[in-house]
Amino acid sequence: MTGAPRIAPLSVDDAKAAAVQAGVPELAAELSVFRVWLRHPKLARWMSDILMGLLWEGTLDARLRELVIMRLGWITGSDYEWTQHWRIAVGVGVSEADLVGVRDWVRHDGFGPAERAVLAAVDEAVRDGVLSEPTWAACCEHVGADSRVLLELVTAIALWRMVSTVLRTLEVPLEEGVAPWPPDGRGPA
């Protein structure tokens, strides 16, 4: 980030009041990204619905989802996404070694076929805007042939790619007192 956010976040109190009116979980209003989105309450509600739905009600394995988001945070240079989802990923049982492993997932020996399939999918989606036939086949084979899971995978990649763009473009800051992760000091930015 180069300085101040391009759109200033609401205060936490104003964001919580706006969240209640918009139908956004009040807890989300403590996050800088929602404090910015709540300047447009309808947009904040739309984003909350899809993000929270995929995070807490989705059928895609939580470990795979978080590896997808961490890889996106890394390759797009989104310190906010990388830092926030490190905490979520650890909470769903992803090891710090695997989180660091997304930096160079091809060489990381902690990933099996499902992890490798979704990480390849992230890289192709960001680089090419589409998944190749071999990567799609690997996702079908190792992540699941259930169309709901595959739809969530592709949607999660696209959604958190978009979120990364919003975060970086608007220069959304980490919350007060939140230090960038990882502890080795080598972040995505």
Domain 62-170 has CATH 1.20.1290.10: yes
Chain segment 77-128, per-residue pLDDT in tens: 999 999 999 989 999 999 999 999 999 999 999 999 999 999 999 999 999 9
Please state, as a whole number, how many other Cβ atoms lie within 10 Å of the Cβ of residue 97.
10
SS3 state of residue 57: coil
Q: What value, to the nearest 5°, has the Cα angle with vertex 68 and ends 180 and 62? A: 95
Strand ranges for 72-121 from DSSP E: none
Ranges of the chain with pLDDT below 70: 1-2, 182-184, 189
Locus of tokens 């060489």: 107
- pLDDT for res 183: 63
Distance from C-alpha of 188 to C-alpha of 172, rounded to nearest angstrom? 15
Distance from C-alpha of 26 to C-alpha of 17, rounded to nearest angstrom? 8
Do 145 and 117 touch, CB atoms closer than 8 A? no
Q: What value, to the nearest 5°, has the Cα angle with vertex 27 and ends 25 and 32? A: 105
Q: Where are the domains of the chain?
A: 12-56, 62-170
- pLDDT for res 3: 75
Percentage, residues of the chain above pLDDT 90: 90
- pLDDT for res 84: 93
